[in-house]
Every structure is written in structure tokens, then in C-alpha cells.
Amino acid sequence: MTILEAGKALRSRRISCLELTNRCLDHIGKLNPRLNAFITITEESARSRARELDRELAGGQDRGHLHGIPIAHKDLIWTKGVRTTSGSKLFEGFIPDHDAQVVEKLNAAGAVMVGKTGLHELAYGITSDNPHFGTIRNPRNPEHIPGGSSGGSAVAVATGMALMATGTDTGGSIRIPASYCGVVGIKPTYGLVSLAGVQPLGFSLDHIGPLTTTVGDARVSLDAMADGTKRKPAPASVREIRVGIPQNYYFTQVAPEVRETVHNTAKRAEGLGARVIPVQVPDIDAISAASLVILLSEAAALYEPYLERQSEIGVDVRALLYQGRLVPATDYVNAQRLRKVLANEFRTLFRSIDCLFTPATPITAPRIGQREVEIDGETLDTRLVTTRFARGFNALGFPALAMPCGETPEGMPIGLQMVARPFEENLLFKLGEALE
């Protein structure tokens, strides 16, 4: 059931907030032991909150689309009185004394928190294979990764354990699990959703957004999470939207079924009336390189004080933190300079288009433990391949939405990424909902 469907059912009294919450808790009880999407389940407080929201609805108080909707928060988003681990042993006993601002906003909108979802340790990786809290598994095939770092959030939404889950995205951590699990995830414009009370990773790259099963649900969730006045209105019709299809970079070193499916989706957009325009994109390797150097440096600076507890950090994250300490300041500064130049080049590109179509990930979800993939006869590092199309947009700050657009013969989801100008999330929602 989607958020919008649940809303109708709640308001016509076909279901109560408590029944809806119990339904999600039942799914968690049945599926979580196998998929490991949740670190903490807040069963009692969820039921109590759902009863309260039922009383409000019965009394005529309606908080809007998220009233009585069961949601989950990624476990690096502070929740008052509820343990917030960041998927790390460093914070395994941390209980915040206040909510993150995004949690406050979602609470005010009437959402019911059913629990806290698992993630790649410290949100610093794409597998969600967590050495402290266990391996999170892809619901389409449990031998495959769900993607990360917001792996638990994507799994929770894909399986109906929650109707929406929050995620964070520093180098693709919302869009990659959305792509691998076949759900919708949006990384909004940088700064649109407040980062207050969210464990950082890369200060100038971190974004927060929702994961949902439909684009419409992502829209109403983002409405509740962010200040709506900053966003530009959607175009009146899909016919007004110019879609850029990259002729360089985004369709090379891509799995053939991903390439074909995304091209077919562009044809569908054209069939809906959008104008599809072939474009040359600026140097994506450069913006990705800048983004990674910035992330290595910022994450290492952040976790410097914790390195004396190195044995409590998993080896993959520890290696990245050590490596980040060695990045010369000149490279960090030049990465920031290059970032600004490339942001201007992208703004120029977006004068001739309104939206860019790319695959969300060049491949579908790899197997757990698979460190290399072969594409077009070349052997490549799984982590670099997975983040290749997503990472650059963290450095640029442009909004980017990932949504399912097909699947392989084996049933693994294929994700489309749509990118727009800053504050034009509504344009992405308009086109995404039309494509659904």
C-alpha cells in the first residue's frame, strides 16, 4: 500500500492508523530476521502514537498526507530517547536527548516511527554489509546487496515494513539502494532538508531525503520534510519539459540491459510529450574525482578524534579514514575550486534542458562480497562502478531522483536517475509520476 492509498483508506475509515502500523510491524516481525533492515524496532511507542493519531482523526484533526503513516528513520538521524547508532560501534549506546529537525517535522506531520533502519557503518560505503549490526540483504535476492548506505531504509520500504523511510546521501546513498531495491529515492537540492541532528559524513556533500515505493509518495514526504516555499512549482504539463539524454559518459561501461531500459524510458517520456534532446555533459570523471577527494578529507577530519578507538571501526571504513588523513590540503582546495567551475558548466547545460536522464547505477545489485564486476570485458571495482553516476551530483548540489524503470530477466531492478536544476524537485516529481 502506498502513502496516498493509505491516506484515502484512513480517511474513509477502511483502516485505522493502528491497523496500518500493526500491518507494518507484522511485516517487520516476519521479514526482518532474514533481511536485517532494522537495528531498532519501536513497537510499543509506534502503537501508542498510532492510537493517538486515530483519536485525532476521529476528532476531526487531520495533519495531512502523513497522518498515521508508518515510517522508519535511518539510524544516524537523531531520535529523542531512541538509540541512534550510525551503524557504528562508536555510537552503539548513544541515545539523543532531542530529535533531528527532520524528525520533528515528520512528527508534526503525523508520521508514526516504527523503528530505525540499518546502514553501512557510519554511512561510509555502498554495501550495507555492516560488521557490527550484520549484513542487510536485498529482498529481490538475499544473496545480493541492497546498496547503501541507506540499505535498511530501501529494504524496509520495498517490503512494506514502512511506507516511507528517511535516508542520507553523500555519494549516492539514497539513490543507489533505491536503484538496487526497486524503490524511489530523492536526493533533494543541497540544504533543502535540514541536516540539524543528523550524523554528518561529508559536511558539504550530505543530503537528506525520503525513500518510498512511488514518486507521488516521495513528493508528499518531501513536502513534510522541507520548507515547501523554496521549491519552484512544477511545469503545468510534461510537454513543457526538455529531457537531456547524454551522448557521452553515462551510457558507456554500463550493463547492456541497464542501457537499453533507460533508453526505452526516455522514449516513453517522449511518448508522453516531453522533448528529448541529445546532449554532451561536462566532465563527470572530474566532478566525481573532486567529490571523492572532498569526501575523503571531510570524513577524515570529522572522525579524527575517534581514530584512537580504531579497533571499533570496521576495516573498510577505517582504511578510508586513514587514507583521507593523507590527502594533501592542496588537492582538497583544488577539488573545491574544480567543483565550482563544473557547477557553472552544469548550469550552462541546464539552460538548454530541464532534466537529465541517466541510469541511477551502471549495474544491478551485485552479490554480497563481490568486489569486482565485469562490464564490456573490463574488470572494475564494484564501489567505484556503483557510485559512478551518482557521486557527482552531491558535489553539484542539484536534486536527483532515482526510480525503478524495469528489471533484468532475473528480476533485479533497474534504476533511472533524473536530475534537475536546484529547487526543481517538483519538475522531477511531475515527470516521474507521469512515467509511473
Partner 1 sequence: MPNADTPHLRPDLHPDLPKDQIERVQKILEQVLTYLRSQSCKLPPEADLALTYDLQPEVDR
Per DSSP, the chain holds a count of helices (H) and strands (E) of 14, 15
- Return d(Cα 146, Cα 176) in angstroms, integer: 8
CA-to-CA separations, 330 to 12, 293, 394, in angstroms, rounded: 61, 11, 21
Q: Is 149 a catalytic residue?
A: yes
Report the candidate in 164, 178, 162 with the shortest Cα–Cα distance to residue 42: 162
Query: Is 277 among the residues that bind partner 1 (CB under 8 A)?
Result: no
Minimum separation from the CB atom of position 226 to partner 1 (A): 13
Pick from 178, 296, 373, 418 the residue near partner 1 by CB under 8 A. Answer: 296
Q: Is 45 a catalytic residue?
A: no
Residue 197: strand, helix, or coil: coil
- Give the x-and-dash track for 185-214 against partner 1 (CB under 8 A): ----xxx-----------xx----------
Longest dimension (CA), the chain: 64
- Return d(Cα 141, Cα 181) in angstroms, integer: 10
Minimum separation from the CB atom of position 330 to partner 1 (A): 9
Query: Is 302 among the residues that bind partner 1 (CB under 8 A)?
Result: no
Work out the angle between the directed axes of helices 17-35 and 43-58 (0-180°, nearest 10). 160
Determine which one of 86, 149, 153, 221 is catalytic.
149
Query: Is 355 among the residues that bind partner 1 (CB under 8 A)?
Result: no
- Return d(Cα 330, Cα 62) in angstroms, integer: 54
Query: Is 397 among the residues that bind partner 1 (CB under 8 A)?
Result: yes
Nearer to partner 1, 56 or 331 (CB): 331
Pick from 2, 48, 336, 408 the residue near partner 1 by CB under 8 A. Answer: 336
- Taking the CA atoms of residue 121, residue 122, residue 125 and residue 128 in that order, the dihedral angle to the nearest 10 degrees is 40
Query: Is 331 among the residues that bind partner 1 (CB under 8 A)?
Result: yes
Nearer to partner 1, 123 or 335 (CB): 335
Asked if residue 54 lies in contact with residue 68, where contact means CB atoms within 8 angstroms, the answer is: yes
Asked if residue 428 lies in contact with residue 192, where contact means CB atoms within 8 angstroms, the answer is: no
CA-to-CA separations, 140 to 180, 366, 412, in angstroms, rounded: 9, 12, 6
Q: First-to-last CA distance in the chain?
A: 15
Q: Which stretch binds partner 1 (CB under 8 A): 25-33, 173-181, 219-227, 320-328?
A: 320-328
- Return d(Cα 402, Cα 107) in angstroms, integer: 25
Q: Which stretch binds partner 1 (CB under 8 A): 33-41, 149-157, 211-219, 395-403?
A: 395-403
Query: Is 236 among the residues that bind partner 1 (CB under 8 A)?
Result: no
Nearer to partner 1, 357 or 398 (CB): 398
Pick from 110, 167, 246, 422 the residue near partner 1 by CB under 8 A. Answer: 422
Pick from 268, 333, 374, 376 the residue near partner 1 by CB under 8 A. Answer: 333
Asked if residue 105 lies in contact with residue 148, where contact means CB atoms within 8 angstroms, the answer is: no
* HSE-up of residue 198 (Cα within 13 Å, Cβ side): 25
Query: Is 61 among the residues that bind partner 1 (CB under 8 A)?
Result: no
Nearer to partner 1, 62 or 316 (CB): 316
Query: Is 343 among the residues that bind partner 1 (CB under 8 A)?
Result: yes
CA-to-CA separations, 293 to 120, 260, 302, 334, in angstroms, rounded: 20, 32, 14, 10
Nearer to partner 1, 78 or 398 (CB): 398
Pick from 19, 316, 407, 433 the residue near partner 1 by CB under 8 A. Answer: 316
Query: Is 239 among the residues that bind partner 1 (CB under 8 A)?
Result: no
CB within 8 Å of 281: residues ≥ 6 apart: 244, 246, 248, 249, 250, 349, 356
Query: Is 30 among the residues that bind partner 1 (CB under 8 A)?
Result: no
Determine which one of 16, 74, 128, 288 is catalytic.
74
Nearer to partner 1, 12 or 311 (CB): 311
Query: Is 311 among the residues that bind partner 1 (CB under 8 A)?
Result: yes
Nearer to partner 1, 223 or 424 (CB): 424
Q: Is 204 a catalytic residue?
A: no
Q: Enumerate the β-bridge partners of residue 73.
A: 116
Determine which one of 88, 173, 221, 291 is catalytic.
173
- Catalytically active residues, by annotation: 74, 149, 173
Residue numbers of the site for partner 1 (CB under 8 A)? 189-191, 203-204, 283, 285-286, 289-290, 292-293, 296, 310-311, 315-316, 318-320, 322-323, 326-328, 331, 333-341, 343, 347, 350-351, 354, 371, 381, 383-384, 395-397, 421-423
